[in-house]
Amino acid sequence: MKRALLSWSGGKDCAWSLERLRGTDVQVAGLLTTFDERTDRVAMHAVRRSLVEDQARAIGIPLWAESLPWPCPNDRYEQIMSAVCPRAVAQDIQAVIFGDLFLEDIRSYRERMLAGSGLEPIFPLWGLPTAALAREMLGSGLKAIVICVDRKALDAKFAGRPYDAQFLSELPISVDPCGENGEFHSFVYDGPMFRRPVPVQAGPVSEEGGFAFADLRCPVSAH
């Protein structure tokens, strides 16, 4: 078996990458997530660390958490992530999995970052038609909440909604069904890759820096 880390934002595409690798020769040994050390939330998506930790427990795979300073220039980000590589190799990790779909520049960047590290980049969803992929994920029972939308692409009312057939039907034609161009991001709380659902609910929506964020939280009744 090839042991791998999965680049984990908590969203549907990385979760579906995990599902796609079920029964293959790739064993996901860790979920690699970056957190903003100022807020203790997922960098970019602003999901609370506690929810991502609960995801990892519900899936049954250890979380590899890395802290990023704020602000975090790209060269500093690369230094931090480059330091992960030798630690991973020392633990018999041979690959890193990414949920990217079709953006060539992003894939090339990841390949350059891992070049010479001893870690192979793997892209299980690469090139799949995104409309069909969205239907496949939903048909499997995957459940997710839209946590962040780019206001240049979508109205703030889309934040905090379930990622479901109704959501897809209301997307403007210019928006990718999987949000691959950054139009929206999601948080998965149940699906075939989970042993149990993650208790979560969408809180108030706020806007900052051209994005609308739904503040996810664990329901009080779940404690």
CATH T-level assignment (fold) for domain 2-122 = Rossmann fold (3.40.50)
Is the pLDDT at 15 greater than 60, yes or no?
yes
In angstroms, what CA-CA distances link 151 with 30, 158, 206? 33, 10, 12
Quote the CA–CA distance of 145 and 194 in Å, as a whole number. 15
Quote the CA–CA distance of 87 and 73 in Å, as a whole number. 22
Residue 220 has what pLDDT?
61
Q: Give residue 66's region: left, alpha or beta (phi > 0; psi -120 to 50).
A: beta
Task: Give pLDDT tens digits for 34-79.
Answer: 999 999 999 878 899 999 999 999 999 999 999 998 888 899 999 9
Name 48's bridge partners. Answer: 41
Task: Give pLDDT tens digits for 70-113.
Answer: 888 899 999 999 999 999 999 999 999 999 999 999 999 999 99
The lowest-confidence range among 55-69, 112-126, 129-143, 206-220 is 206-220
Tokens describing residue 184: 């929206």
Three-state DSSP class for 124? coil
Is the pLDDT at 223 greater than 50, yes or no?
no
Name 42's bridge partners. Answer: 35
Residue 163 has what pLDDT?
98
Name the percent of the chain lying above pLDDT 70: 98
Is the pLDDT at 221 greater than 70, yes or no?
no
**Domain ranges within the chain, ordered by starting residue:** 2-122, 130-222
If 0-12 CB within 10 Å is exposed, 13-18 middle and 19+ buried, where does residue 219 land? exposed
